[in-house]
Amino acid sequence: MSNSIISNKPIVKLQVSSAPTVSIVMPVYNVQDYVGCAIDSVLSQNFTDFELILVDDGSTDASYSICQASADMDSRVRMLWQRNKGLAGARNTGIRASRGKYIAFLDSDDLWHPDKLAEHVMLLNEQLDVGVSYSSSAFIDGQGLHIGLYQVPKCRELSAKDVLLRNPVGNGSAPVIRREVFEEIALLHEDGSLHYFNESLRQSEDIECWVRIATTTHWKFAGIEKALTYYRVNEQGLSSNVEKQFQSWEQACELMQSYAPDFMKSNKSLAKAFQYRYLARRAIRSDDVSVALRFAAKSLIINPKIIVFEPIRTLITLGAAVCLLLPKPVYSYLESVSIQVLSSFQKRSVIVT
């Protein structure tokens, strides 16, 4: 697979002049219903030494005008526009324009807790060997209301294997990363520009970047247990995207094999089982019985060791997929009870602020 990259050695460092401590990169594409709230959650941060770079990726709705209005009102907000390149392309544009010591990402339909930046800056200032920080996340619905569930990642002593199997960063609104990390993994594109996320990937660009960092640099990953990111769960179109997402993950694995062949040879089979399980859960949330059952089964077939690594989560996924065969009222009741139990369990593992 060609990815139009001719070198993985950075030619120049990202320019820093009169830099804020943190540059926040927010890709924007047709999110007029949410982007204003996302921007407000940045402007409401208790840590204020930041710039917010809004990268409109060719929106066709009112997103651009909403973003421009924020840029007109606050000098910390910068507005960029480009023809549509996808999420990786928008993030790369924002990174190239950034000036901060640390670079944070916020997807334009998600939100941040007011202490998000303050907590990450404290961690990165204190732990100089950590290059990638992230936090737990609380799930919100389309109206921005908490649904009682959380992403609770492993936060300490992470290996490259942890990054590949479980993607502890979790989502695109969780990470805050040192500038030096991106300088170290920069890819020189054939057009002369530096890329950090691989633009040949329309999905799975994040996990490919995290694995590249974990396998080719000395930088460590560290998480914050507090739920500082509010991740919006959008059920629309989930099942229709599952097959495409798996194909994109396979493409990402091809790229990983090019720079970490021994690592991928040892871990891809189990990683594939984890990916099938993850996509089975997505299909479950959209009530797609056939896809959920097929992917849950594949996760066990491709590498049964997944039960050894995470028996409870694997069996719950398989059980939930089977339960989709029950009458809808019965399944809805079981789902509601399960969410209450899981929420109670997760609250013991995450610091809810």
What does the angle CA 141 – CA 224 – CA 270 come to, to the nearest 5 degrees? Answer: 80
**Cα torsion angle, 107, 177, 126, 220, sign:** positive
Q: Are 34 and 108 in contact (CB under 8 A)?
A: yes
Q: Which residues pair with 49 in a beta bridge?
A: none
Please identify which residue in the block is written with the tokens 């002593």: 157
Q: What is the pLDDT of residue 190?
A: 84
Q: What is the pLDDT of residue 241?
A: 80
H helix or E strand, kind and range, residue 153:
none
Helix (H, G, I), strand (E, B) or coil at 126: helix
Q: Are 249 and 203 in contact (CB under 8 A)?
A: yes
What does the angle CA 166 – CA 296 – CA 273 come to, to the nearest 5 degrees? Answer: 40
Q: How far apart are CA 45 and CA 50, in angstroms?
A: 9
Where residue 18 falls (left for φ over 0; alpha for ψ -120 to 50; beta otherwise) is: left
Q: What is the pLDDT of residue 1?
A: 38
87-97 and 205-216 helices, crossing angle to 10°:
50
Q: What is the pLDDT of residue 57?
A: 97
Q: How far apart are CA 143 and CA 124, in angstroms?
A: 32
Domain residue ranges in the chain: 5-232, 239-346
DSSP string, 15-79: P-SS--SEEEEEEESS-TTTHHHHHHHHHT-S---EEEEEEE-S--SSHHHHHHHHHHH-TTEEE
Q: Are 152 and 349 in contact (CB under 8 A)?
A: yes
Q: What is the mean pLDDT of each run of 10 residues along the chain (353 residues)?
A: 41 57 98 97 98 98 97 96 96 97 97 98 98 97 90 95 96 97 93 93 95 98 97 64 90 97 97 96 87 94 94 92 86 67 61 67
Alpha helix ranges (H) inside the chain: 35-43, 63-73, 87-97, 116-126, 160-166, 179-185, 205-216, 238-259, 261-285, 289-302, 305-309, 311-323, 328-346
Q: What is the pLDDT of residue 192?
A: 85
Instruction: Provide long-range contacts, Cβ within 8 A and 24+ apart, for 146-152.
Output: 146/230, 147/233, 147/339, 148/339, 148/340, 148/343, 149/339, 149/342, 149/343, 149/346, 150/227, 150/343, 150/346, 150/347, 150/349, 150/350, 150/352, 151/231, 152/225, 152/346, 152/349, 152/350
CATH fold, domain 5-232, is Spore Coat Polysaccharide Biosynthesis Protein SpsA; Chain A (3.90.550)
Q: How far apart are CA 331 and CA 273, in angstroms?
A: 25
Sheet holding 187-189, edge to edge: 5-7, 187-189, 194-195
Q: What is the pLDDT of residue 285?
A: 83
Among residues 100, 84, 99, 106, the alpha carbon closest in space to that of 27 is found at 106
Radius of gyration of the CA atoms of the chain, in A: 20
Q: How far apart are CA 336 and CA 348, in angstroms?
A: 19
Count CB atoms within 10 A of the CB of residue 57: 22
